[in-house]
A and B are shown apart, each in its own frame.
Chain A
Amino acid sequence: MSRAGRGGRFAVIAVPYAWLLAFFLLPFLVIARISVSEMGATTVKDIVAWKDGTIAFSLKFGNYLLLAQDDLYLRTYGSSLLFAAVTTVLCLAIGYPFAYFMARSRRSLQPALLMLVMLPFWTSFLLRVYAWKALLTEQGLAANAIESVGLDRAMAAVGLIPGPGQLMNTPFSLILGMTYTYLPFMILPLYSTLAKMDLRLLEAAADLGASAWTAFWRVTVPLSRPGIIAGSMLVFIPCVGEYVIPELLGGPQTQMIGRTLWDEFFSNNDWPMACAVAVTMVLLVVVPLAVFSRYQAEASARST
């Protein structure tokens, strides 16, 4: 390769790389640093000092100890994971058949169906979440509909809402809001995988004696696994750290770690604590992320 070619190659890689190092990686190191310091003393000099010829660290792990010991934080992490998991399962339950039926409908219809799913995605998500607020408060359309069939009493019995008629700011409204917002993120990868599936495989299965139901579970579902995993990751991980939806639709019963971080930072002005929460959240998130990208790498290696 000529000198110019090599120089060009360097620039193409270096520019985005440097940018990401500076604005993505470096910030993580910064919050890691701040999380082990005290409020008001968060610069590097406060943490690392040169004392008597040796380096002395004054790391304050107090924040992390607090996180580990305080019931509130543990419960919040737990409920964040729980809500995210429930949302993911609901999105899968609604989204998989949806994507499946989309992929199996007439070819000519599919672009229009896809466009109709994309349209809400392009519309501001803040506004759509706000719309549920209007629908679920007293006298709201959805509230009336649910109350009229008595569904609210069933939900109260299960604990999804504190009492009949109180649909807003409850676990129910939160889960509804999150499922609603993240549903397209589940449908799109699923549709993409299902639409690409070779239908002749199903014909082969039928030819070999499988019923439609068996063919579905033994052929279609395993083949759509990449879509299921991609969709689940795209829903679960962001849900864990969601802030806006819990803030608008959640309530006292729905502690989410995203809100905790926000409150620590904006309300309590406790930067080190907020950072500690963030670092633990990253660790919580990194594990599924690593698993996911390992799976992706293996999948692409297998397909080549």
Chain B
Amino acid sequence: MSAEAFLQIRNIVKEFDGHRAVDNVSIDIVKGEVFALLGSSGCGKTTLLRMLAGFETPTSGTILLNGRDLADLAPYERPMNMMFQSYALFPHLTVFENIAFGLRRDRLPAAEIQSRVESMLKLVQLGAFAKRKPHQLSGGQQQRVALARSLAKGPQLLLLDEPLGALDKKLREETQIELANIVHDVGVTCVLVTHDQEEAMTMASRIAVMSEGRFLQVGAPAEIYETPASRFVADFIGNVNLMDGTLVEDEADHVVVDCDDVRHWIGHGITGMRDMAVTVAVRPEKIRLERDNVSSSPTEVDPKPFNEARGTIKDMAYFGDYTVYHLQLAGGRVLKVSQTNVERQPDRPLTWGDAARASWSDLSQVVLPR
């Protein structure tokens, strides 16, 4: 337990009718960090967040904030505030009154409420909208009011429930950065819940991938992405090629995995032993794709080269800045390859039916237990 541990979640279990929504979760959250709970719907992330806020009571386990047990504190007694998925702005109050709501409950003097609300409005750049009612605002503006309202009381912990879920793509990209900046400027510790990987990866300093009430992996975004701890996590985050095989060579500085139609030479040692069943994960952007000009006879070519595969382009999708190819190998396996379109108008771009050769470096794979 680090001395900086700010929020301590210990063995939290939440049961509904015999079904465990949150299954023995423990984590320490450090002051000032942005911690994301990432998972698909039903994984328990929202339930966990609501237990932090005080809307659900844990079946067992403790939550400590700054060493203080929150168990007997009602939501209105906890020093944390939540930004709701639906924003939950009070429709009958103006923007000003919405933000001032929490301050008024604290019986602060009018002058102080005035100045605090004004500084919040300035923070989210909605100064001109103080007198409007929520239904007179656009979705993005409503979100900013919700954020201002949740920060107005200067909470020790900010809880965000799918903060960008209701916005369309363009707005989401702009708001992601803005939101991250505001949170960073204010310096508040954040726990954020989302099903959107992009949201988690851009905003969080640490991510916990959740499934069926448990934490599958906790780490920084890069760690989760490049070093997934399990097949599930590898598959959940981004796109990945998963190849099942057997460990045929196990040395301190390299291992070799035989996946029938593909052989991997991996340039680092792993904890494991020979003949172990493993899965090799390679991300599409780590694979290079070239037109296959081989015309030599099969016997001259190494039938099973390392970190290489030959096939035909079965499918492709053009995204403007990059293209995704589906390369079908001889044995039927399809490799997903993603290439940035570096050239504006290449000479002979790859297209459906072309023979192509995929290759990847020996540090691009991750070996996962099967």
Contacts and interface: CB of A to CB of B under 8 A. Distances in A.
A–B direct contact (CB < 8 Å): yes
Interface of A: 1-2, 5
Interface string B57-92: 100000000000000101000000000000000000
Contacts of A5: 74
Nearest to B76: A2
A5 B72 CA distance: 12
4 contacts: A1-B57, A2-B72, A2-B74, A5-B74
Contacts of B72: 2
Interface residues of B, number: 3
Contacts of A2: 72, 74
Contacts of A1: 57
Contacts, number: 4
Interface of B: 57, 72, 74
A2 B71 CA distance: 10
B55 to A, nearest CB: 10
A263 B167 CA distance: 68
Nearest to B77: A2
Nearest to A5: B74
Ranked nearest first, the 4 interchain pairs of A and B with the lowest CB-CB distance are: A2-B74, A1-B57, A5-B74, A2-B72
A2 B55 CA distance: 11
A297 B236 CA distance: 39
A5 B74 CA distance: 10
A5 B55 CA distance: 12
A1 B74 CA distance: 8
B53 to A, nearest CB: 14
A117 B307 CA distance: 78
A2 B74 CA distance: 7
A2 B72 CA distance: 8
Contacts of B74: 2, 5
A86 to B, nearest CB: 48
A219 B171 CA distance: 40
A2 to B, nearest CB: 5
A232 to B, nearest CB: 37
Contacts of B57: 1
A7 to B, nearest CB: 13
B267 to A, nearest CB: 54
B70 to A, nearest CB: 13
A1 B72 CA distance: 9
A146 B57 CA distance: 71
B236 to A, nearest CB: 29
A5 B77 CA distance: 14
A3 to B, nearest CB: 10
A5 B73 CA distance: 12
A4 to B, nearest CB: 8
A28 to B, nearest CB: 35
Nearest to A4: B74
A111 to B, nearest CB: 20
A5 B75 CA distance: 12
A295 to B, nearest CB: 26
A1 B54 CA distance: 9
B50 to A, nearest CB: 13
Nearest to B57: A1
Nearest to A1: B57
A1 B56 CA distance: 8
A294 B261 CA distance: 61
A2 B76 CA distance: 11
A5 B76 CA distance: 12
A302 B74 CA distance: 35
A8 to B, nearest CB: 12
B11 to A, nearest CB: 21
B69 to A, nearest CB: 15
B57 to A, nearest CB: 7
A16 B97 CA distance: 35
